[in-house]
Amino acid sequence: MKEYPMNLQELKKEFATKKQCLDYIYKLRWPDGFYCPHCKYSEPPITVDKAKHKYKCRICWHQTSATANTLFRDTQYKLLPLWFQAIWYVTSEEKVIRALWLQKELGLGSYHTALNWVHIIRNVMGNSKNDKLKGEIIIDKCTIVNQSVLVAIEVSGAEIKRICLTRSNPSANNFAHFVRKCVASGSIIITDGNTVPDELSYKAGYILKTAHDKQKQVIEIVASISDILRHSRFRGSLQSYLHEYCFKFNKRNSESKFYEFMKIAIQVRSKVTQPYVEPHMRELHEQAYDYYMDKKLRKKILK
């Protein structure tokens, strides 16, 4: 299977119908053949609807489809080709895509729909679960368009490798959540000595270091973001734009940002439009979800 289109023309040709899009999502989710997402049973399932890739597990009777538990879970199938194009534009274009432009380009009936799509795509960009920064990380705070932002920069010497930025007040608690969310345990956290609480070292396994000469990388990143936002006459939510900037920066050497995005999109459980949930709360949410699924499963078996 070819993993991604190389340009917009290829994208429009390869994903012109809902079937082409569904086949692509299916192959991304199950590259080595179907297995039940609930009980992991991997023998061929009962086919409920072949065209829509809807299946039922032979062991636990869990029913699933290509789009279940992905970004596209509630999307009308006929809109999938347009969704793929929107994803292409927002992830692959250098400039900041504006909703009004996207609405015209895709021929969408409503500006609100285009705005919602851009917002969703940006939020998914910030949802990569397996992409924590690691190694030497500078942690700092800054101000972008008059809002307080926490900054994490993965460095190798003077070189900036990857970044993570979140709009948040710079309290000790927020810094601790931020570091746990975006930096892998065992990493070296470099600060000016005031920002990150000491407890992170013994509670979460980070090595804390103090340095006062690491500010130039932070200034470089902040100047770049501020510059882009000034030139694009940006009016959206700063947090969702920060997701986009970090995604594009971190994937700058990837051949296909579209493909990088799709790998994240097939793992998100919802359209991520809900309010931001602190990482420690998210874990509780997920436990509650698993418990709910177990309960549903037990009911099915007892029937």
Please give the residue ranges that form the binding site for Zn ion (CB under 5 A): 36, 38-39, 41, 57, 59-60, 62
CB burial class (10 A; 0-12, 13-18, 19+) of residue 30?
A: middle
Question: What is the smallest separation between the CB atom of 67 and Zn ion, expressed in angstroms?
Answer: 18
Here the tokens at position 132 are 């924590």
Question: What is the smallest separation between the CB atom of 45 and Zn ion, expressed in angstroms?
Answer: 8
Return the number of the residue (59 or 172) whose C-beta is nearest Zn ion. Answer: 59
Question: What is the smallest separation between the CB atom of 30 and Zn ion, expressed in angstroms?
Answer: 13
Return the number of the residue (53 or 248) whose C-beta is nearest Zn ion. Answer: 53
Return the number of the residue (51 or 59) whose C-beta is nearest Zn ion. Answer: 59
Question: What is the smallest separation between the CB atom of 59 and Zn ion, expressed in angstroms?
Answer: 5
- For the beta carbon of residue 264, count every other beta carbon within 10 angstroms: 19
Can you tell me the distance from the alpha carbon of 261 to that of 264, in angstroms, rounded to the nearest whole number? 5
Q: Hunting for tokens 């078996």 — which residue is that? A: 301
Can you tell me the distance from the alpha carbon of 40 to that of 32, in angstroms, rounded to the nearest whole number? 13
Return the number of the residue (57 or 155) whose C-beta is nearest Zn ion. Answer: 57
296 and 60 Cβ atoms separated by less than 8 Å: no
Residue 163's closest CA among 286, 144, 256?
144
46 and 58 Cβ atoms separated by less than 8 Å: yes
Question: What is the smallest separation between the CB atom of 42 and Zn ion, expressed in angstroms?
Answer: 9
Question: What is the smallest separation between the CB atom of 296 and Zn ion, expressed in angstroms?
Answer: 12
Residue 46 C-alpha from the chain's centroid? 32
Can you tell me the distance from the alpha carbon of 27 to that of 286, in angstroms, rounded to the nearest whole number? 25
Question: What is the smallest separation between the CB atom of 170 and Zn ion, expressed in angstroms?
Answer: 46
Q: Hunting for tokens 């940002």 — which residue is that? A: 257
CA 289 to each of CA 56, 286, 293, 294, 302: distance values in angstroms, whole numbers, following the listed order? 20, 5, 6, 9, 20
Return the number of the residue (34 or 89) whose C-beta is nearest Zn ion. Answer: 34
Return the number of the residue (38 or 181) whose C-beta is nearest Zn ion. Answer: 38
Return the number of the residue (48 or 100) whose C-beta is nearest Zn ion. Answer: 48
